[in-house]
Structure 1
Amino acid sequence: MNMASIVIFIFTVIYITAGNANTGFVNVQCKTENVGQYGQLSLLECAVKTSQEETDLEIRAVSWKKEGVDEPLLVFHRGGTTKQPGYSFAEPSWNSKNMNVSLHITNTAVEDQGVYTCTVVTDRGVITTETSLKVTAKYSKPTIISEPEKITQSTGGTLVCNSVGGYPKGQIRWFGELNEDWTKSAEMEVKQTKIGLFNLSSKLTLLQGSTYSKYKCAVFNTSGGKEDEATFEVPEGRDASGRLVVIGSLIVLLVVIVILYRRRYRRGH
């Protein structure tokens, strides 16, 4: 008999013996939605609440299960606790007199997102309540590279913005030097990794002769909030070698003017 079968048997027996008790003054209150950060400790808040008339309440059993998972995550019965790795009571020294039955999830993963059921059996009866966990992960600071590596305002090219390791799926948006939105002119690619996180990449093509001096790439989460941004400055169309050519041409022209002037001066005399 596996752990799930044992739990079902235990709670069936307890329900038969305690189910006829009055649960009207005993309730399990859970936070409707809990938010956990990827890789961090998450808390599913649940507590047993009693009326003033109820005293000396005893918790006989507790079970935490996740929707879609057969095996219970945590079970308390007859003074002992059985749990899966990564799950525990939020109270380290929890006992049957402690009304805080909240669940801790260590090293939260994307797969931990979902609906959870907390069942509490007391000497007054059985109460079952649901709560949910939403997992989020912040995207990395965007980075911008150009293709080709050296572009100018006159040559044009492509800007590529990358931001990785976020959850849920976000969006990359582009802005010009006057903060105008260029997102519709870009192409975004989304890839989901094996661990469930998203990598975002967006390409913005700069047309020759119509390129601004500055572009900004920003990453937004699924709620529309901006997490971070990066700026790319496009050099002027005329590079250093071009300026040297122009300066050299002006010097040559000046020399020619001086020579012609001297010749005319000598002829005049």
Structure 2
Amino acid sequence: MEPQRVSPLPDRRTQDRGLAALKVPGCCFPLPAGASGSESRSRVCKVPLAIGEGPGPAGQPPRRYSFLLLLLHTIRAVTALEEIVSRPGDNTMLSCIYHRGGLDLQSLRVYWQIANQEACSVVHALIFGQNDESKQCPHFKNRTHLFWDRLEEGNFSLLLLNVSHSDEHTYKCIVMQKKEYTDVIHQANVVLSLAASYSQPILRGPIRNTDSTEEVTFSCRSGNGYPKPNVYWINKTDNSRLPSSEPQITLHNDGTYSVFSTLKVKASPNMQIECSIENKILQENLSANYTQQKQSSDSSTESPESPGKKGRGAQAVGIISIVILMGVLVALTCWLRRRRSSKLVSYTVTFATVKEATTEVHEKDAGCTGFNVKDDKDGS
């Protein structure tokens, strides 16, 4: 007669008032460095088992427990992840919200840490309702703030002041609650990236090279952007990329960059050149274009010096025109003055002649009058 198989009883050391303490891979969360006592070890998840349910074959969890293991792995995989893009020098809020209010701060531990970094990883710590700066990284001193009026509502978001390129990390928020044992009740990951739009590119050229009669140079400049940009020169006639020199990138005090790039190409009729500045994080492409039209069928590439020559020629023509005009005005003024003077002399002579003639007439009249009077006297 085959003996009856009896399922082994659970180890009483794993029982705790109807709860079996099982070490579940993926469920145990390592606590932050510096936690004391039993909290410094990996937490053991206690999972309730149905009455009468014992462990499965040796080295395996109960059959009805397999689904729970899968669920715990899934929960761990879907930890909240948020991506934030900020401008250098701005203040940024790292979000961490636990959607259950009515929390007792005296039973909570809140840690903000840099993920996947062991040395100097603590960004901010709240221990049982008090800020703990003993293990805070010096880089974050006086730059982090929690919203105290929202903590009991489950809002553990962190305000990070004056962000710079050294703050680009993945941050982890861990919220633990201590009752009978310390339990991780919420965690969130926030990826912080910095970005700023570049200014509209300024394209200059073509400038004919002194050491070559067939080669010209273009330059392109832009600034006030972040991170370092990609610079592309494009031949718009066939949309092909043109090889250029290594761009000169300058870092400014405010954390932004400026870029300067040059392109040397063989001069040709109907050139169409584009300079493009790419910001990968913002997915922005700013461009400036140069287009040279062919003036005639046998015309060659326009010399880059011709605009300057034309400008100087126009200035010379303008100056000469002004001088000629002033000369004409002076000559006309002199002619008018001379004509006026001649008229005045003629008028004076005429007036004198008339005056003399008038005087003679008066004298003759007077003589005649005197003669007549005398004759009258003699006759009387």
The aligned counterpart of 1:15 is: 39
The aligned counterpart of 1:66 is: 114
Which of structures 1 and 2 has the larger relative contact order (alpha carbons within 8 angstroms, sep 6+)? 1
The aligned counterpart of 1:30 is: 80
The aligned counterpart of 2:192 is: 133
Q: How many residues align?
A: 225
Letter in 2 for 1:61: R
Compared CA separation, residues 121 and 241, structure 1 to 2 (3 A)? closer
Compared CA separation, residues 242 and 137, structure 1 to 2 (3 A)? closer
CA offsets 1:122-170 (integer angstroms, 9 cap, x no match)? 135235544322222322322223374999xx97520111223433332
Instruction: From 138, 143, 146, give the equivalent of 1:86.
Output: 143
Instruction: From 190, 193, 204, give the equivalent of 2:251.
Output: 193
Q: Which of the two has greater strand per residue?
A: 1
Compared CA separation, residues 184 and 200, structure 1 to 2 (3 A)? same
Structure 2: where are the runs of 5+ without partners? 1-31, 48-71, 134-140, 294-301, 315-380
The aligned counterpart of 1:142 is: 201
What is the RMSD computed on CA atoms of the aligned residues? 4.2
SS in 2 for 1:31: strand
Alpha-carbon distance between aligned partners in 2 of 1:241 and 1:32, rounded to the nearest angstrom: 57
The aligned counterpart of 2:277 is: 219
Percent of matched pairs sharing the same residue? 18
Compared CA separation, residues 215 and 98, structure 1 to 2 (3 A)? same
Letter in 2 for 1:200: V
Q: Does 1:173 align with 2:232?
A: yes
Higher mean Cα deviation, 164-173 or 38-47?
A: 164-173
The aligned counterpart of 1:116 is: 171
TM-score of the superposed pair, with normalisation by structure 1:
0.63
Question: Residue 171 of structure 1 contacts residue 200 of structure 1 at CA under 8 Å; is this kept in 2?
Answer: no
Compared CA separation, residues 201 and 230, structure 1 to 2 (3 A)? same
Question: Residue 190 of structure 1 contacts residue 198 of structure 1 at CA under 8 Å; is this kept in 2?
Answer: no
SS in 1 for 2:242: helix
Alpha-carbon offset, residue 64 of structure 1 = 1.0
CA offsets 1:53-91 (integer angstroms, 9 cap, x no match)? xx74434121112244516221212322256222222x3
Alpha-carbon distance between aligned partners in 1 of 2:167 and 2:110, rounded to the nearest angstrom: 20
SS in 2 for 1:111: helix
Compared CA separation, residues 43 and 85, structure 1 to 2 (3 A)? same
Q: Which has the larger radius of gyration?
A: 2
Alpha-carbon distance between aligned partners in 1 of 2:112 and 2:221, rounded to the nearest angstrom: 39
Alpha-carbon offset, residue 109 of structure 1 = 0.8
TM-score of the superposed pair, with normalisation by structure 2:
0.47
Compared CA separation, residues 22 and 47, structure 1 to 2 (3 A)? farther
Compared CA separation, residues 139 and 233, structure 1 to 2 (3 A)? same
